[in-house]
Amino acid sequence: MAESPLHEAVVIPEPKIAEFLFADTRVAWVWLLLRLYVGYEWVMAGWEKMTNAAWVGAHAGTAISGFLKGALAKAAGSNPAVAGWYAWFISNVAIPHAATFSYIITLGELAVGIGLVLGAFTGIAAFFGAFMNLNYLFAGTVSTNPFLLLIQLFLILAWRNAGWLGIDRWLLPWLGVPWKPGTEFQHGK
């Protein structure tokens, strides 16, 4: 009995436009501009929190508690802006550990921003930025979150060339990628 084509490996070629946008270094300057914009937004948001005692310091957790309680209020009514499962997370996980979340959010925003501005681990930084934007959206806060999320999704797709005009140009060849070890890990060659 012949094997089904479903069991054979098939390599689907990347469309030329996707290859150009997400793998060609000639487009790196576009990603640089988007990276700098989103990175700046994250650095400024994180710095504002870092210099506020209600986020980091003597009163850590105060600001996030107020934000989370506001999000819980949006979980009620006939058309809630916050889903029930996320309201459960807020009530049972986030609010009881508000000080910890306050530090995680502050340091996370700074780390994402610095990573994007420097072009270091660009895809990873964009992923965690998108994750934070999704959480803000789940908490019922629209603001610039959808726009930043959209840009970060494209930065994730463009991880190979989005950091080309940044530290990734040297960092990724040195460390490697999951399918190919970098020069740091190629012992004996």
d(CA 167, CA 81): 39
| pLDDT tens digits for range 47-101 | 999 999 999 999 999 999 999 999 999 999 899 999 999 999 999 999 999 999 9
Question: Is there a domain that residue 84 lies in?
Answer: yes
Question: Is there a domain that residue 66 lies in?
Answer: yes
Question: Is there a domain that residue 83 lies in?
Answer: yes
Residues paired with 177 in a beta bridge: 180
Question: Is there a domain that residue 100 lies in?
Answer: yes
From the list 126, 94, 97, 133, the residue with the least C-alpha distance to 111 is 126
Distances (CA, A) of 26 to 20, 29, 125, 153: 8, 7, 22, 20
pTM: 0.89
Q: Given this model, what pLDDT does residue 2 score?
A: 55
Tokens of 107: 């340091």
Question: Is there a domain that residue 16 lies in?
Answer: no
d(CA 166, CA 48): 25
Question: Is there a domain that residue 60 lies in?
Answer: yes
Number of domains in the chain: 1
Q: Given this model, what pLDDT does residue 187 score?
A: 67
Question: Is there a domain that residue 126 lies in?
Answer: yes
pLDDT < 70: residue spans in the chain: 1-4, 187-189
Question: 3-state SS of 141-180?
Answer: CCCCHHHHHHHHHHHHHCHHHHCCCCCHHHHHHHHEECCE
Q: Given this model, what pLDDT does residue 129 score?
A: 98
d(CA 48, CA 42): 10
Task: Report helix angle 122-138 to 28-50, nearest 10.
Answer: 50
- The residue segments making up the domain with residue 37 are 32-167
d(CA 163, CA 109): 18
d(CA 27, CA 16): 13
Length reported for the chain? 189
Q: Which residue has the tokens 């925003």?
A: 109
Question: Is there a domain that residue 181 lies in?
Answer: no
